[in-house]
A and B are shown apart, each in its own frame.
Chain A
């Protein structure tokens, strides 16, 4: 498969502090990878290097190589803005733009890309909202503020916004941690559907969720506070949960710590 996302020997820093060390991972198209591990182990940090959002934080920098379909995302001539248009992201807390309507939120990315044609925008909005299983709930109030939706709807709105620009990869940073179980179920169903079109990487604290939605699971851990986080092991989800190689993985997935 040519459209792989490959992470090789990546070290991630916040200023002088090395937050994550020596990560090597491969992501396949049309698959879901879950990042699990205790708090502070660097899961979200690794996720944010995949669309160059890590460097938005002052002092944030990355060593090593991250390539998508063979193209180094960190090559000197690559524009981080272009990377983020190819690798979309959904955050822990739903963050629709508060001053925008539902419609404007969904097409925000397309407008940034310069699309102005009204009917094309309307088509894209409907397609994305259907894709995010939100269309039926909001089709009669597209001109109402996005912030007026429930938390779960807002998160699906954010997913619609992310897929409207048709990225290759969708990153999700604990997308359900601020949601109730019903909304969580809706998002998980959606992940299952989105998998047919996108490569998905999801960070989660919910082990059952990782087991339910992912094809591949990566377990991160850190030796002690102040030490860099490390990728302990990665493999097909059933194997990680049923036959983990490392003792710490076994301890974590069986609920003995974390």
Chain B
């Protein structure tokens, strides 16, 4: 080994142009952008934590005075010295209606998205995609109103049919309620979330790499088989994300549900039926906004809000796990 193998940089005299360049202070833009994005990141975490802390701290005094079981009671009298309240009915209505909404909106949204990306004639794809994106941007209350008016007469015969044919199942037991059943809430929610599910799914499907699709076709896959082997597996995490986003909307949707719900009389019998009425978290809170006149009453509603907060968290965590578990296969 001779001396010539020493890297020239090491022998370069201090103060030369090269050393000046590497020791120069970092560019201002880098530092400011770095600070700004750090700050934004910290702020988001802090904000979520603060919301959680606020909800818990407001809810605890009310919960500690509660004389009923908060999780299993259906009562809701939050005033006075002996408040009795629980979220059983709210939780059941909210989750059931949201599940019905998902069960309707996700398959339809995925099918519409597949039609636009894979089946529609070439000239139709771009306008259809734009249209779906526009529809997704319309506030969901507009679809809610439309669904409310158009689908009431459509859903009622279906409910009658279910209660006569499948009435022996607790889920479809007849209840005599004809207004805002849980099922009808679910249908209206489905209409409200359909555009967003469709728009996100379409976006994801459209990004399926051509090589995957051609790989399937070259093996002799039909169009449907190509979709099953290339498009759907590729789009699955995106569809799950879309579904979760939509579920978040469905769980929290307030105004449309508040219009529709048939509030159950206090002390009415418990039923598992989807054809019964009942309030969701959001509608219970919205319907009773006038009652927020004492910390105790407000605390009870905030406790209900806290459950909704946790519910959304759990749903999102489950979705993350599902997506992560498939990660080894998507890289």
Contact = CB atoms under 8 A, between A and B. Distances in A.
Nearest to B327: A145
B211 A99 contact: no
A88 B217 contact: no
Interface stretch (B59-67, B161-169, B220-228): B220-228
Interface in B193-244: 209, 211-212, 214-222, 225, 229-230, 233-234, 236
A162 B215 CA distance: 9
Given A97-B233, A99-B326, A99-B329, A89 B218 contact: yes
B229 A108 contact: yes
A97 B216 contact: yes
B218 A99 contact: no
B37 interface: no
Interface string B276-302: 000000000000000000000000000
Contacts of B229: 97, 100, 108, 112
Contacts of A148: 328
The binding surface of chain B is classed by DSSP as helix
B122 interface: yes
B220 A109 contact: yes
B225 A145 contact: no
Given A97-B233, A112-B225, A165 B328 contact: no
Contact of A98 (B219, B220, B330): B330
B331 interface: yes
A88 B326 contact: no
A91 B214 contact: yes
Contacts of B212: 95, 97-98
A98 B217 contact: no
A98 B218 CA distance: 16
Contact of B220 (A59, A93, A113, A147): A113
Contacts, number: 78
Contact of A56 (B214, B219, B329): B214
A168 interface: no
A145 B230 CA distance: 15
B220 A84 contact: yes
A168 to B, nearest CB: 13
A148 to B, nearest CB: 7
Counting chain A residues whose Cβ lies within 8 A of the other chain, the interface size class is: 20 to 34
Interface in A105-160: 108-109, 112-113, 145, 147-148, 158
Nearest to A105: B215
Chain A CB within 10 A, most for which of B216, B225, B229: B229
A81 B222 contact: yes
B129 to A, nearest CB: 15
A15 to B, nearest CB: 10
Interface in A67-118: 81-82, 84-85, 88-89, 91, 93, 95-100, 108-109, 112-113
Contacts of B331: 98, 145, 147
A91 B230 CA distance: 15
A161 interface: yes
A95 B221 contact: no
Contacts of A82: 220
A247 B321 CA distance: 63
Contacts of A255: none
Contacts of B326: 99
A127 B209 CA distance: 29
A51 B330 CA distance: 28
B219 A109 contact: yes
A232 interface: no
A53 B218 contact: yes
Contact of B329 (A91, A93, A147, A158): A147
A85 B217 CA distance: 9
Contact of B218 (A84, A93, A100, A145): A84
B179 to A, nearest CB: 45
B324 to A, nearest CB: 14
Given A53-B214, A95-B212, A158-B215, A145 B329 contact: yes
Given A97-B233, A98-B329, A99-B330, 13 more contacts: A59-B122, A81-B222, A85-B220, A95-B209, A95-B215, A97-B212, A97-B215, A99-B236, A99-B326, A109-B220, A112-B220, A147-B330, A162-B219
Interface of A: 51, 53, 56, 58-59, 81-82, 84-85, 88-89, 91, 93, 95-100, 108-109, 112-113, 145, 147-148, 158, 161-162, 165
9 contacts: A56-B214, A84-B218, A85-B220, A95-B214, A98-B234, A99-B233, A100-B233, A113-B220, A161-B219
Nearest 6 Cβ contacts at the A-B interface: A85-B220, A99-B233, A89-B218, A95-B211, A109-B219, A95-B215
